[in-house]
Chains A and B, each alone.
Chain A
Amino acid sequence: MIYALLLITLLIGVPFAFVILGTLLVFMIGAEFPYHIRIVAQQAFGGLHSFPLLAVPLFILAGEVMNEAGITRRIIALANALVGHMRAGLAQVNIWASVIFAGLSGSAIADTSTLGRVFIPEMEKEGYPRDFAAALTAASSVIGPIIPPSIPVIIYALTVSGVSVPALFMAGIVPGLLLATGLSIYVWFFAGHFGTRKTHAPGTRRKAVFSGLIPLFMPIAVIGSILLGVVTPTEAASFAVVYALIVGLVLYRSIPVSKLPRIFTRAMRDSAVIMIIMAAVSAANWLLTYNRIPNIITDWVLATIDSQIMFLIAVMLLLLLVGLVLEGIAAILVLVPILHPIAVGLGIEPVHFAILVIFNLMIGLITPPVGLCLFVADSVARVGLSAIVRRLMPMLLVEILVLIVIAFVPDLVTFLPRISGYL
């Protein structure tokens, strides 16, 4: 009965957080002691009562302020100065602008929307097919939540014990860069014939680099101060907001003060969408833990699968399938409390496993039928989802290839946290 309610409400499109809360409420009303309707609100409240969790709305706010400050043009100019001269120049700029953007917003959807508005028409003007430009913008936006600061990383670290935010931030850097390099190689070979790059006046490159240093300083300072142990991720997030406000209000003077209330409201609303799922899952996890469900599943899996490789393959397939139909952060909140202890039980390095899970689920942002970045890219390009998906397929294969590489060469993920002293 309860499972049927969960499934039906999920399938008819009730928001995910309310599916969980509603099912729990019905269960608590119908069940006897020790269950009580009070537990739902109590556990949801408890799940949100966390100081590190404050980093989520603050990083979202910093990203919103930076976007509003008009950093996009400067990021593109910087990426252009760095890689624009290469074969398939504008396609390369698209990819590496996403890498720089990742350090500022950490949101793949903001990346697709903001960069897509500039790149899709520009790439078309230079001879790239419009659907290819849209597909590349969506594919490269996956880098956003992998390179720090990353909201999924913070959520993951808060969902389980034994992994720290700074360690995961460090661990995400190489996979993010590998992903960008993989896409870069792909466009080098297969998109070089599309566009003819215009040459730029001498001196513009140096100017673009200097102009791009202002936004680029934010992620460097934030990550640097966290890694040096000077500040906690939450404090770093508040400093990032201050920096973004200085950039927008004082340096660029691109944000009128009258716009600030709307920016603050949007940041809290977007945070609430993520965090109400977190609150609902906290309440559900209480019920599962009380009934020892995660332990039972862990014991069963460990009795069935005794090889790390088998488990990693099974998890990657599972997550790729889940990513097809479920939003990444929701999937992290639901699956990680169950999968993480099994991975640890099999001797997999927790930081390695965490990055694999995040990388895997973020690929879901560009896989149909519910790839959010696909929808955003299509809303900008207006060429139809099927045309974008057709162009996207080889890029998706590149991303899966990078996933396989980081899955079976753990050092690529653990190298940076290890030399930084986190492992």
Chain B
Amino acid sequence: MSATFRLFRRLLIGINGTGAGLMMLTVFSIVFANAFWRYTAGRSLTWGEDAAIYAMIYGIMFGVALAYLQDRHVRFSILVDLFPASVRHYNLILIDVLVLCVGIGFAISGYEFIDNRGGRTSPSTGLPLWMFQFSTLMGGVLLSISALTMGVCRLLGMTEAEADA
């Protein structure tokens, strides 16, 4: 059971990592190609700026879930560091539960956002905006899955050092 969840966590790290890396590559390629074309041919892709921004937002959503799976988020830890290790362990599980709720809430918020504003069309790309707004819904879902996985792994005995590895 424990090994299965650890494997699942590694799989999630792989999926989110691949998503984040590909989006980083997309952002870099579009910005560089657009700048290069502008300086050499004197014009740039009209959709270039927005496409790079949307790729960045998708990348952030993958990156947020990845950072959660690897315990990289910025947190206020002075008080928690004073706790004994066992209390800290259960506190981390509590945090996983709270972040799971935030993830679900953010996914619902993203869904409502798409429902309300997704029908419009992006002037630069010509594509419906829901395709880009979907990143918020996806981000919430990925964060929820990451928090749930981390919570279960911790319940099954994963230590802070293992989570950080």
**Interface residue total, chain B, C-beta cutoff 8 A:** 61
Q: Which listed residue, B28, B109, B135, touches A37 by the CB 8 Å rule? A: B109
Complex Cα distance, B133 from A36, in Å, reads 17
The answer to whether the Cβ of A178 comes within 8 Å of any Cβ in the partner chain is: no
Q: Which of A222-255 contact B (CB under 8 A)?
A: 231, 234-235, 237-239, 241-242
Could you jot down 16 A-B contacts, CB within 8 Å? A9-B98, A13-B75, A13-B91, A38-B115, A38-B116, A40-B109, A44-B136, A53-B56, A238-B35, A264-B25, A265-B20, A269-B20, A275-B56, A276-B63, A276-B64, A325-B76
Cβ B102 vs Cβ A264 within 8 A: no
B positions within 8 Å CB-CB of A: 17-18, 20-25, 27-28, 31-32, 35, 49, 52-53, 56-57, 59-64, 66-68, 70, 72-81, 91-92, 94-95, 98-99, 101-102, 105-106, 108-110, 112-113, 115-117, 133, 135-137, 140
Give every chain A residue within 8 A of B23 (Cβ-Cβ): 268
Q: Which listed residue, B53, B67, B91, B117, touches A54 by the CB 8 Å rule? A: B53
The answer to whether the Cβ of A12 comes within 8 Å of any Cβ in the partner chain is: yes
Q: Which of A26-85 contact B (CB under 8 A)?
A: 26, 28-29, 36-42, 44-45, 48-51, 53-54, 57-58, 61
Cβ A265 vs Cβ B52 within 8 A: no
With A12-B94, A13-B75, A264-B21 as contacts: A48 and B56 at CB distance below 8 Å? yes
Q: Which listed residue, A50, A268, A370, touches B59 by the CB 8 Å rule? A: A268
Q: Which listed residue, B21, B28, B94, B140, touches A265 by the CB 8 Å rule? A: B21
The answer to whether the Cβ of A311 comes within 8 Å of any Cβ in the partner chain is: no
Complex Cα distance, B21 from A45, in Å, reads 20
Nearest 5 A/B pairs, CB to CB: A272-B63, A15-B73, A265-B21, A38-B112, A41-B109
Closest B-chain residue to A242, C-beta based? Answer: B32
A: contact size bracket: 35 or more
Closest A-chain residue to B82, C-beta based? Answer: A369
Closest B-chain residue to A10, C-beta based? Answer: B76
Q: Min CB distance, B57 to chain A, in Å?
A: 5
Interface segment out of the listed A17-25, A89-97, A388-396, A411-419: A17-25
Give every chain A residue within 8 A of B67 (Cβ-Cβ): 269-270, 272-273
Cβ B136 vs Cβ A238 within 8 A: no
**Chain A 322-347 near chain B by CB (<8 Å), digits 1 or 0:** 00011100100000000000000000
Q: Min CB distance, B32 to chain A, in Å?
A: 4
Give every chain A residue within 8 A of B35 (Cβ-Cβ): 231, 235, 238-239
Complex Cα distance, B99 from A12, in Å, reads 12
